Amino acid sequence: MITYSARRTADSWWTRPNGAIFGLAKAATKDFDRSVAGTYQAIYYAKNGASTEAGNVESGTPTLGSATVAVSSGGDVTITDANGSTLASGTLTAVADTSYLYGTADELADPCYGLFTFRSNSGGVQQDVFVTFLGKSAVFSSFSAAVPSVTGETYDYFYGVGLAQAP
């Protein structure tokens, strides 16, 4: 899996990147590996109420936080912040089995084995969460926005990494 995040600047993103590239080895199969079940202590970066303004500049105040990522042997995931508030909760599904992400011409060309997702909808807001595992770590990201999307509305996102805790 390779994820690239960039914001365009007055020059262009390919000459002055403002983002990151993150690469992981592709898993041998699409299946969830039950051995990754457990609790992970994490740090995350978040921005709530973000919006994209003129010149593709993103507004909003960034925050850093600590979280707990709980993963069951069945692939249920709950991410809670340091105050115990749930940031995301759902059951992991392989990207390869997610019809709105993989399978037709307008979607991902690669099944992204080892990358999992879930989607939730509540109060007119859709949240997409992605999770992958590498050794004793979990890497996660979330993006939330109103549905249907309306130009000028704000969005929220967070992403982070957690290290497995001893059982």
Q: Model-level pTM? A: 0.85
Listed by start position, the domains of the chain span 2-164
DSSP string, 132-165: EEETTEEEEEEEEEESS--TT--EEEEEEEEEEP
Task: Please tell me the number of Cα atoms within 13 Å of 142 on its side-chain side.
Answer: 28
Q: Give, for 63, the enclosing helix (H) or strand (E).
A: strand 62-71
> How many other C-beta atoms are found inside a 10 Å radius of the C-beta of residue 89?
15
Distance CA 143, CA 126 (A): 8
* Residue 113 three-state SS: coil
Burial (Cβ within 10 Å: 0-12, 13-18, ≥19) of residue 143: middle
Q: Give the model's pLDDT for residue 16.
A: 44
pLDDT of 19? 60
Token reading at 134: 């590498």
β-bridge mates for residue 34, sequence order: none
The CA-atom distances, in angstroms, between 60 and each of 20, 47, 81, 137 are: 19, 6, 20, 29
> Does domain 2-164 fall into CATH 1.10.3470?
no
Per-residue pLDDT of the chain (167 residues; tens, 9 = 90+): 344 444 444 444 444 445 666 778 889 999 999 999 999 999 999 999 999 888 878 888 899 999 999 999 999 999 999 999 999 999 999 999 999 999 877 788 889 999 999 999 999 999 999 999 999 999 999 999 999 888 888 999 999 999 999 87
For residue 18, the model assigns a pLDDT of 54
